[in-house]
Amino acid sequence: MTEQPDLKAHRQGQDLFPTRLERKLRMFQRIDPVVHVGKKQRADGPLTEEQIAEFERNGFLSIPSYFSKEGMDEFIEELREYEQDKDLKLSEGTVLEPGAEEIRSIFGIHRISEHFDRLTRDPRLLEIAQQILGSEVYIHQSRINYKPGFKGKGFNWHSDFETWHSEDGMPRMHCFSCSVVLTENNEFNGPLMLVPGSHRYFVPTVGRTPENNYKESLKSQTLGVPDAASITQLVIEAGGRDGGIVIPKGPPGSITLFECNTLHASTENLSPFPRSNLFFVYNSVENPVVEPYCGNKPRPEFLAERTDFAPLMPV
Amino acid sequence: MTEQPDLKAHRQGQDLFPTRLERKLRMFQRIDPVVHVGKKQRADGPLTEEQIAEFERNGFLSIPSYFSKEGMDEFIEELREYEQDKDLKLSEGTVLEPGAEEIRSIFGIHRISEHFDRLTRDPRLLEIAQQILGSEVYIHQSRINYKPGFKGKGFNWHSDFETWHSEDGMPRMHCFSCSVVLTENNEFNGPLMLVPGSHRYFVPTVGRTPENNYKESLKSQTLGVPDAASITQLVIEAGGRDGGIVIPKGPPGSITLFECNTLHASTENLSPFPRSNLFFVYNSVENPVVEPYCGNKPRPEFLAERTDFAPLMPV
């Protein structure tokens, strides 16, 4: 997994992260830092030195019960209202389960819900975001993932950055996601699976991106999925059959912060109960999106902020 | 979940376990014992009184590392040979993954492999089977489940007995399965999920069985799946969101004994590594199959023994 020999040539062509290619290109080492704040300020909090080190090493950090369970109830109530809202169900930012009527995700939720908007500007969360990214931040994307019981389908292995770079034009790895648990995440309901350390490599994927790929990819991702050999190598490097994958579990209010390039997936939810999470992406204001690197027209604004890169202000 | 009022009428029509119906019928309480040996002999072993009580209560019993890891190696080697065997891959008892080339299951494996045949007649296992079923036993069905990494699809919630009764003509619940772990079963590779206590109820399902249903159902089960409300009720009764489902985990050589009517499912295997198990079904010689209750012609012999009900002899 040394640096790709062809990379230099690709760099001259401007794209540091070639992907959606016609031919396979080996994975190569990450170029950008994982924690962007200066060494002196690392220990300034809110995350402890140990937490920052864990995030840097694994590419994610879980904090069980970060918010109170009660604090999540208002979101669950809003979610129930959304389920009854026909207009919302028909709107482009709402993705239904493949072959089903159930809502899979609602995107751009921080533009719809005041509760959600305030959550993204929670002073403690915002300070964590500034600590990790070493700069002011804005919201690149937000969504609610429903994952209804019995019917919620999974998501294949992928790095979010791989999509955000190629389809949204995000230049660098200077970004991370915050996932907030609304209903307990356990081993039965298709929880998030992460490969520790995978964020340290970029895996170029094969296959040209068709226009409007998002209409399919948000239901079932086939493009942008790393080859099996690379995933296997990363899982083995992370600890093999027993320790190479991690599932953060926790009650409502738990959060998982994960780096934009950390490999993750989730299986279907066969349990009777929904596994619902809130999800928002902090991007550095120094890393606003440009034209998509895959050459297509940009995806809609509900998937990727393209106009308002103003720093987020605490509530 | 009281006894179904219509049940009496159904009984007069002979079928104690009406299923694959045109209309929904409520679930009703189990009629047959779970442990069939007499009270006096229950403690005679090989299972301890506690183990027998656990099996009776939960409908399954897991024993980690029952066989040695090394003892499993010969099966894994045989499995690799089967993967290269084109004839076997084309034979009717071999089921491929939906939409893929990978082997999903090989049925009737105790008729193909001497190793496997001997395993089903392991003296300790056979004594356990006789202890649970209170009689001599024979093999109703056997198989290897491959569940290849990345591609192995899951299985929807079902009771095996529901299928064996309707499609094979198994008269009563006097039967259980033994699953032997070949490659570690963990929370990442689509392990078996069981609902404790679900074996105490029979859930009639809706939908007539087409002829040759097995050709589809072995790849993806849609018929014979209990309604969502009944599954939810059973999971809640078993402990709700947190404790209503159990995943037995363990290294190669671990076994899980589960009653023929215990509700179970498994998700897809998104991990890079196969999750392979051996699986065989001990049926009481007092419970040989008759004509299928669904009215169709019987399924092939590789799915259900129909001619040789001779008691299994220990090796």
B62-90 pLDDT, tens digit per residue, is 999 999 999 999 899 988 888 888 888 88
Is residue B130 very low, low, confident or very high in pLDDT (cuts 50, 70, 90)?
very high
Two structure tokens written together for B132: 């649970």
Neighbours of A83 (CB within 10 A): 14
CA distance B193 to B277: 14
Query: Measured between CB atoms, which of B149, B187, B267 is closest to A268?
Result: B267
Does the structure show a pLDDT above 60 at A280? Answer: yes
- B132/A225 Cα distance (integer angstroms): 47
Nearest partner of B103 among B280, B301, B274, B305, judged by Cα? B274
pLDDT band at B156 (very low <50, low <70, confident <90, very high): very high
Domain that holds residue A169: 17-284
Cβ(A120)–Cβ(A142) below 8 Å: yes
| Residue A12 counted as domain residue | no
Report the complex ipTM. Answer: 0.89
**pLDDT for position B7:** 57
Lowest mean pLDDT among A196-205, B54-63, B181-190: B181-190
Which residues of chain B neighbour A272 with C-beta distances below 8 Å? 228, 231-232, 235-236, 244
Specify if A11 maps to a domain. Answer: no
pLDDT for residue B4 is more than 70: no
Identify whether the C-beta of residue B272 lies closer than 8 Å to the C-beta of residue B149: yes
Q: Which of A69, A102, A187, A246 to mutate to test the interface with B (most CBs of B within 10 A)?
A: A187
**pLDDT bracket for residue A218 (50, 70, 90):** confident
Residue A50, token pair as written in the block: 């140990």
The pLDDT of residue B220 is: 79
Single out the residue of B195, B204, B193 nearest to residue B59, CA to CA: B195
Closest CA to B284 of B139, B120, B128, B109: B139
Nearest CA in chain A to B148: A228
Query: In the numeric block, which tokens belong to residue A221?
Result: 């991702």
| Residue burial A6-42, b: 16+ Cβ < 10 Å; e: rest | ebeebeeeeebbbbbeeeebbbbebebebbbbeeeeb
Answer whether residue A264 shows pLDDT above 70.
yes
Residue A297 placed within a domain? no
Q: What is the CATH number of the domain that holds B69?
A: 2.60.120.620
Q: Give the model's confidence band at A248: pLDDT under 50 very low, under 70 low, under 90 confident, else very high.
A: very high
Minimal-distance CA residue of chain B relative to A251: B242
Residue A10 falls inside a structural domain: no
pLDDT of residue A6: 53
pTM assigned to the model: 0.91
From residue B127, how far is each of A152, B115, B122 by CA, in Å?
42, 19, 9
Residue A97: inside a domain: yes
User: What pLDDT score does B265 carry?
Assistant: 97
Q: How is residue A95 annotated by DSSP?
A: E
Report pLDDT for A45.
Answer: 85
- Tokens 């809003």 belong to which residue? A78
Percent of chain B residues topping a pLDDT of 70: 96
Q: Has residue B157 got a pLDDT over 80? A: yes
A70 in a structural domain = yes
Which residues partner with B282 through β-bridges? B139, B176
- What span, in angstroms and rounded, lies between the C-alpha atoms of B141 and B109? 9
Predicted confidence at residue B214, as pLDDT, reads 87
Mean pLDDT to the nearest integer, B214-229: 87
CA separation for the pair B19, B165 (Å, rounded):
9
Q: How many CA atoms lie within 13 A of A191 on its CB side?
A: 24
Q: How confident is the model at residue A5 (pLDDT cuts 50, 70, 90)?
A: very low
Identify all chain A residues contacting B154, using CB atoms and an 8 Å cutoff: 267-268, 270
- The confidence score (pLDDT) of residue B206 equals 94
Place of tokens 């942008």: A224
In this structure, of A1-10, A113-122, B176-185, B191-200, the range with the lowest mean pLDDT score is A1-10
pLDDT at A82: 86
Please report whether residue A7 resides in a domain.
no
Residue A162 Ramachandran class (φ > 0 left, ψ -120 to 50 alpha, else beta): alpha
Mean pLDDT, residues A126-131 taken together:
97
List CB contacts of A240: < 8 A, sequence separation 6 or more: none
Q: What is the total residue count of chain B?
A: 315
CA-based nearest residue to B193, from B145, B152, B255, B248: B248
Averaged pLDDT for residues B183-192 = 93
Please determine, for residue B111, whether its predicted confidence score (pLDDT) is greater than 80: yes
Number of independent structural domains in chain B: 1
| Stretch among A71-75, A294-298, B85-89 having the lowest mean pLDDT | B85-89
Q: Could you tell me which residue, A8 or B130, shows the higher pLDDT?
A: B130
Interatomic CA distance for residues B154 and B163, integer angstroms: 17
> Is B300 within a domain?
no
Cα–Cα distance between A307 and A301 in angstroms, integer? 8
* Residue pairs spanning A and B at CB distance below 8 A: 71
pLDDT, one tens digit per residue, over A147-197 is 889 989 999 999 999 999 999 999 999 999 999 999 999 999 999 999 999
A68-72, A246-250, B85-89: least confidently modelled range: B85-89
Chain B residues in contact with chain A using a Cβ-Cβ cutoff of 8 Å: 149-150, 154, 156-157, 183-184, 186-188, 190, 193, 228, 231-232, 235-236, 241-242, 244-245, 247, 265-268, 270-273
| Number of alpha carbons in the 13 Å side-chain half-sphere of residue B64 | 8
CA distance B14 to chain A (A): 33
Are B140 and B282 in contact by the 8 Å Cβ rule? The answer is yes
Average pLDDT score over chain B: 91
Residue B192, pLDDT above cutoff 50: yes
